[in-house]
Amino acid sequence: MIMENFRNSVDTEKVLRLLGARQGRRVSSASLRRVDLLTEEIEGMLKPQLSYRIMELSQVNRGGIELIDGTCFKSPKLAKALAAAEAACCFMATVGPAVDAEVQRLMRRRCHADAYVLDAIGSASAENIVEQFYQRMARRQKEKNGGVTLRFSPGYCDWPIQQQRPLFRLFDDIDTPDVVLNQSCLMSPRKSVSGLFGLLPQGVNSMDPAYNPCDTCNKHDCIARRSN
């Protein structure tokens, strides 16, 4: 089943971080004007879609996790985050191909600044879809006196991007958005997000998970850095 009931909203703060506004840096007033203008224009390009699958965990060890069907994901940090989970919620989401096409059109016209800003807005829009879904699942778990872990995507922290392949195979037999992997395990359309988060059992209610790998990471300029 493909979910499409998402708000087409843009997190301006995240867009500005993608444009370099972090660690005390500021973006130019011209960039701020472009963000406002292109945020309005992008709404008609967004076609949000998401599919997900809940898989029970059969094993969690120091090196990674194993799902009930035998799928293994290698990441010590992912394993530590899901240590108390009973299942993993795996997802695949996209805003569709229109943003990519418009960025390419702007580049061909040498409108490089507009293309750069639109690309950042597209990335933030895709993340926003996943965040809406994540919060829905968190509320559902809370109603059952359970909780969720932080979410992870291949290519971040210590989870290799090559693990996109087994993640995508989980969706072989269900309806999914039109997203494909290339040989480098990058997704097309580019404004797509995949990953998973843990579902905590009854009695473990944690909207603010105790373990966050960013707390012990020295890469302070990471655009994906998050706090509890």
The answer to whether residue 182 sits within a structural domain is: yes
Dihedral angle at the C-alpha atoms of 213, 216, 220, 222, nearest 10 degrees?
-20
Q: How many domains does the chain have?
A: 1
Determine the longest span between alpha carbons in the chain, in angstroms.
Answer: 56
What does the radius of gyration of the chain's CA atoms come to, in whole angstroms? 18
Q: What is the DSSP letter of 75?
A: -
- Quote the pLDDT of residue 10: 81
Q: What is the pTM of this model?
A: 0.89
The CATH number for 151's domain is 3.40.109.40
Contact indicator for 144, 202 with CB cutoff of 8 Å: yes
179 CB-near residues (< 8 Å, 6+ apart):
92, 94, 187, 188, 189, 192, 194
The answer to whether residue 7 sits within a structural domain is: no
- Quote the pLDDT of residue 11: 83
The answer to whether residue 221 sits within a structural domain is: no
List residues bridging with 67 in a β-sheet: 57
Model confidence at 32, pLDDT cuts 50, 70, 90, reads confident
The answer to whether residue 68 sits within a structural domain is: yes
pLDDT at 216 over 90: no
Model confidence at 14, pLDDT cuts 50, 70, 90, reads confident
3-state DSSP assignment of residue 28: coil
Contact indicator for 87, 149 with CB cutoff of 8 Å: no
Q: Give per-residue pLDDT as tens, 151-207.
A: 999 998 899 999 999 999 999 999 999 999 999 999 999 999 999 999 999 877 655
Question: How far apart are alpha carbons 199 and 171 in whole angstroms?
Answer: 19
The answer to whether residue 17 sits within a structural domain is: yes
Question: How far apart are alpha carbons 58 and 75 in whole angstroms?
Answer: 16
Q: Give per-residue pLDDT as tens, 62-98.
A: 999 999 999 999 999 999 999 999 999 999 999 999 9
The answer to whether residue 175 sits within a structural domain is: yes
Dihedral angle at the C-alpha atoms of 213, 217, 221, 227, nearest 10 degrees?
40
pLDDT at 209 over 60: no
Question: How many helices (DSSP H) and strands (DSSP E) are in the chain?
Answer: 6, 8
Q: Which domain holds residue 182?
A: 12-215
pLDDT at 208 over 90: no
Model confidence at 21, pLDDT cuts 50, 70, 90, reads confident
The answer to whether residue 227 sits within a structural domain is: no
Question: How far apart are alpha carbons 13 and 22 in whole angstroms?
Answer: 10
The answer to whether residue 110 sits within a structural domain is: yes
